[in-house]
Chains A and B, each alone.
Chain A
């Protein structure tokens, strides 16, 4: 365990920091590729512009705007512990959304299966032309030191 908290003022200042907003589009290509990844099937037909499409397409949008917020490396190991997709309405074929990403929260944990660890929760938000939120995707990463995690495991 570090001798003092790694959540310095500089690190805490990252909470709420947002990437520049950029445009992303639900294209037939992105939708088809996403469906193929998750279902293993090549869609026989592509929905027409404006038709609702399955939410898989959000996975293609996540990187189109440069990905999620950059998380600083405070500990040697990192692991995804949770993620989620949320939709206020179905995505629509052909629509252009504005995407931005931010660090929602950074917390530290003492003890537990990872020993001392730091959790980063980030979120990407997708808005339509009126500014209304259409979808969100979020992840929670934990950073830890595998040697300390092993000691915690050995201690039961």
Chain B
């Protein structure tokens, strides 16, 4: 369904994006950043550091929030800002849901914009990330 910015209302929900971030995704992210903390890919090393196993890098998760918003926009606008506040780790290969809702729709600098509240929800139903985004419509 194509997003119609003119019909957007506060409280509208974004479609939930279901993702299962794999070890492959994490390794590709490490390669993109050219940084390889061992606890992102070695389960034993991660457990030795008190983690449940390998985890999804926090900086990768802000990009996943961006993806959820970008896919919702579907070309109707662009993402001006995306923020992530990390609450708890997400183990690699665990499914996550990215949910969001429109918090505010407004005009600014002659542009139509919206603030979005976002969250990454783990399979226990707990928010692992609280997020926020600002989008601008074409």
Binding site for B on A (CB under 8 A): 33-34, 36-40, 52, 54-56, 59-60, 62-63, 67, 79-88, 90, 139, 146
Bound: A59/B57 CA distance, A: 13
Partner pick for A63 among B33, B83, B85, CB 8 A cutoff: B33
Which residues of chain B come closer than 8 Å to A87, judged between CB atoms?
78-81
Cross-chain contact A85 with B35 (CB below 8 angstroms)? no
Give residues 34-81 of B contacting A (CB, 8 Å): 34-35, 50, 57-60, 62-64, 66-67, 70, 78-81
Partner pick for A33 among B25, B32, B81, B85, CB 8 A cutoff: B32
Partner pick for A59 among B59, B70, B80, B83, CB 8 A cutoff: B59
Top 4 nearest A-B pairs by Cβ distance? A80-B58, A84-B83, A38-B63, A86-B81
Given contacts A54-B70, A146-B50, contact A83 B79 (CB under 8 A): no
Which residues of chain B come closer than 8 Å to A56, judged between CB atoms?
63, 66-67
Partner pick for B86 among A60, A82, A86, CB 8 A cutoff: A82
Cross-chain contact B25 with A82 (CB below 8 angstroms)? no
Q: List 10 A-B contacts (CB under 8 A).
A: A33-B28, A54-B66, A54-B70, A67-B35, A80-B59, A80-B86, A82-B83, A83-B86, A86-B80, A87-B79
Partner pick for B29 among A37, A79, A83, CB 8 A cutoff: A37
Cross-chain contact A139 with B81 (CB below 8 angstroms)? no
The tally of residues in B whose CB lies under 8 Å from a CB in A reads 28
Given contacts A33-B32, A40-B25, contact A82 B85 (CB under 8 A): yes
Bound: A88/B62 CA distance, A: 18
Bound: A90/B80 CA distance, A: 8
Cross-chain contact A85 with B33 (CB below 8 angstroms)? no
Partner pick for B78 among A33, A52, A59, A83, CB 8 A cutoff: A52
Most buried by B among A34, A39, A146: A39
Which residues of chain A come closer than 8 Å to B32, judged between CB atoms?
33-34, 37, 59-60, 63
Bound: A90/B136 CA distance, A: 11
Give residues 73-128 of B contacting A (CB, 8 Å): 78-86
In angstroms, how far is the closest chain A Cβ from the Cβ of B71? Answer: 8
Bound: A80/B85 CA distance, A: 9
In angstroms, how far is the closest chain A Cβ from the Cβ of B28? Answer: 5
Which residues of chain B come closer than 8 Å to A33, judged between CB atoms?
28, 31-32
Bound: A82/B62 CA distance, A: 9
Which residues of chain A come closer than 8 Å to B50, judged between CB atoms?
146
Partner pick for B63 among A37, A80, A88, CB 8 A cutoff: A37
Bound: A34/B33 CA distance, A: 10
Q: Tell me the nearest residue of chain B to A60, going by C-beta.
A: B32
